[in-house]
Each structure stands twice: as C-alpha cells, then as structure tokens.
Amino acid sequence: MKIEELKATIQEALKELNIKDVNEGTSTGLNNFSDGEILESYSPVDGQLIGKIKTSSPADYEKVMEVANVAFKEFRLMPAPQRGEIVRQFGEKLRKNKEALGKLVSYEMGKSLQEGYGEVQEMIDICDFAVGLSRQLHGLTMHSERPGHRMYEQYHSLGVVGIISAFNFPVAVWAWNAALAWVCGDVCVW
C-alpha cells in the first residue's frame, strides 16, 4: 500500500470511529471529559500526528472512581447471564468496527495490518468466551455436620478492578481482563 493510500484509509477509519482532532481522555462510559494536559499521538509508521487527547487530571480520576463505586453496587447484583448479555453486545460492536479499529491499532502501534486486526479479533473472542462463562459460574453444594443443613459455594464480585496494560498490545490485553471481570460483576477502570 502506498503512503497516500495508507493516509486515506486511516482518515476513513478515524472518521468512522469518531476520532476528532482533540479527544476527551476520560470516560465513565456515559460521559467523556478531561481536564488534563493535551497529549499528542504520532504514528511510528510515518511520523504523522494521529490526534490529540486530553489526559486525566487527579480530579478526573476521583470522579471516575466515584462513578465506578456507585455503578459496582448495582452491577454486582445483576445476574451473571445479564452481565454476559452486555458483554455480548460489546462484542457485536467490536465486530461491526473491527476493520476500522484494526487499522487504528496498526497505524498507532506500527504493527502490521493483520496484527491490528488480530488484536481486535482477540477482543471479540474473549467476549464470546466470557458470555459462555457468564452461565458457568457454578458453586459446589456440600453436606454439613448440622442435620437438615447444606453448605454451598457462592461467588461474590470483588469491586472496582484496575487494569494496566502494555502499549504494544493496546486493546487485546485490556479486553482479556475486562470481559471476564464484567461477567463476574466487577467494574473496570483502565
């Protein structure tokens, strides 16, 4: 692919993904905001500016943690198959945007296009796995020493889970953690 073709296809992908010249870097899932400094992202492929993102300030972090803790109190009570349905819908959005996301991963990380597509496919695959897992959070039932009583195992969500992932696998590693945590009732902050 010639450099002019590459630039055109990347511009199409950025437009499809609604990537602006300057983007908010903090999100609660419903609201996007940021009050930090601006960070510029350049492609190692051709040295061109991809876009700018506002970084998260300490106040932004506190707001995200507050929202995450409130969300956890509701999310943990949702039955696992319903959480699995949310993960399934997320996987469907990834399928819909796989080509554009793969191009962005490739261009931003300097990976081959197939590697970029592969990372997004790994996100889709872990979503599919997590959906199945959402119906398999079993626990043992055991006899008790007390007459007329039985003991059983029951899983409880941990809480707000922090995910730190490497820059060279920008989406796959995050998804491995997030999709599984979600079906288990945990809220994730990346």
Domain ranges of the chain: 57-189
Query: pLDDT below 50 — which residues of the chain?
Result: none
Instruction: Tell me the C-alpha distance between 38 and 23, whole Å.
Output: 9
The backbone torsions φ and ψ at residue 32, rounded to the nearest 5 degrees and listed phi first, read -110, 130
pLDDT for residue 2 = 74
Assigned CATH for 57-189: 3.40.605.10
pLDDT tens digits along 84-125 = 999 999 999 999 999 999 999 999 999 999 999 999 999 999
